[in-house]
Amino acid sequence: MNGQRVVTVPLFFQLHIIQLTVPGAILFTFFMPQRIIMFFFFFYYLFAIFIYKYVAYIEKKFQVINEKQTTRLFPNESGQF
């Protein structure tokens, strides 16, 4: 996993789920206007954008270092048998 990044995003905010909801949003916005469902889709997409921007911010601002660290029980030992 050197050089790779792992980003955990809840299932409802993963890119393929968002793409699957776009036809429903278009349907309920233009062809069958339902105000409550339109508000649901609006806040869903707004929150999804917020999550992706926040994850990008975390990746930019914070650096996670995964270095192997060893702690010796007896510090003066060389570690060899």
pLDDT in tens, 39-58: 999 999 999 999 888 888 88
Amino acid residing at 38 = M
Is the CB of residue 29 less than 8 Å from the CB of residue 46?
no
The residue type of 56 is A
Residues of the chain falling short of pLDDT 70? 1-10, 63-75, 77-81
* 73, part of any domain: no
CA distance 12 to 10: 6
pLDDT at 40: 92
Q: Is residue 20 part of a domain?
A: yes
Which structural domain range is residue 32 located in? 11-61
The candidate with the shortest Cα–Cα distance to 55, out of 1, 4, 2, 9, is: 9
pTM above 0.75, yes or no: no
pLDDT at 39: 93
- For residue 36, the SS3 value is helix
Q: For the chain, how many structural domains are there in total?
A: 1
